[in-house]
């Protein structure tokens, strides 16, 4: 029996988790700012940053949707062992992870008028994360900034739903950036 899912978690749980949480919250507060994270060594196809986000934000009470690109036995075992997060269909997910073209955006909850916070946060794995491409404006951004997004239209449509909408964390290698629903993209 191979127990690779036992490996790859935080080595120093309190310290690594607090550093990762701070990096994630900084990214959400400053849309488009790219932050490096460390601590996780997840199985492929999860990036280091995606694994770190999962270890930090997921627990037995946060249903997680896995896109086909990330729905492997190794990933499932690793997530189950390290976080206990239950797997869910898109309509019931609090978090979702996968490649952009495999995430069914329209299927994820975007909150309700009474509870706009009951929406899904998507962890989007992209090949390259850089400070170029789409222009971002809004809360947490001084004037404007840029971020390499997989497309623009979906984020413009999402921002129009405010206060409802999806929130996004983009990961690539050991780097992450966030795009909350309040951010305007052009």
Domain count, the chain: 1
* This prediction's pTM: 0.94
Residue 2 domain-assigned (yes or no)? no
Mean pLDDT of the chain: 94
Residue 72 domain-assigned (yes or no)? yes
Residue 1 domain-assigned (yes or no)? no
Residue 123 domain-assigned (yes or no)? yes
Long-range contact list for 80-85, CB < 8 A, 24+ apart?
Answer: 80/5, 81/5, 81/6, 81/9, 82/5, 82/8, 82/9, 82/54, 82/55, 83/54, 83/55, 83/58, 83/59, 84/58, 84/59, 84/60, 85/54, 85/58, 85/59, 85/60
Q: How confident is the model at residue 39 (pLDDT cuts 50, 70, 90)?
A: confident
What pLDDT sits at residue 12? Answer: 77
Tell me: pLDDT of 1 over 50: no
- Which domain, by its residues, includes 168? 8-185
Tell me: pLDDT of 6 over 70: no
Residue 33 domain-assigned (yes or no)? yes
pLDDT tens string 106-142 = 999 999 999 999 999 999 999 999 999 999 999 999 9
With a pLDDT cut of 90, the percent of the chain lying above it is 89
């Amino acid at each position: 029996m191979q127990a690779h899912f036992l490996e790859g978690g935080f080595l120093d749980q309190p310290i690594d988790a607090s550093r990762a949480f701070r990096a994630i919250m900084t990214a959400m507060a400053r849309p488009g700012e790219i932050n490096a994270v460390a601590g996780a060594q997840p199985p492929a196809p999860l990036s280091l940053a995606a694994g770190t986000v999962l270890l930090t934000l997921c627990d037995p009470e946060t249903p997680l949707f896995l896109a086909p690109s990330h729905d492997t036995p190794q990933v499932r075992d690793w997530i189950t062992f390290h976080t206990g997060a239950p797997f869910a269909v898109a309509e019931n997910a609090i978090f979702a992870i996968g490649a952009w073209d495999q995430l069914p955006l329209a299927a994820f909850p975007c909150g309700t008028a009474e509870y706009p916070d009951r929406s899904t946060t998507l962890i989007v794995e992209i090949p390259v994360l850089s400070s170029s491409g789409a222009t971002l404006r809004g809360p947490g951004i001084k004037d404007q900034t840029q971020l390499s997004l997989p497309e623009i239209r979906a984020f413009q449509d999402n921002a129009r739903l405010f206060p409802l909408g999806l929130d996004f964390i983009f990961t690539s290698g050991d780097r992450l950036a966030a795009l909350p629903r309040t951010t305007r993209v052009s």
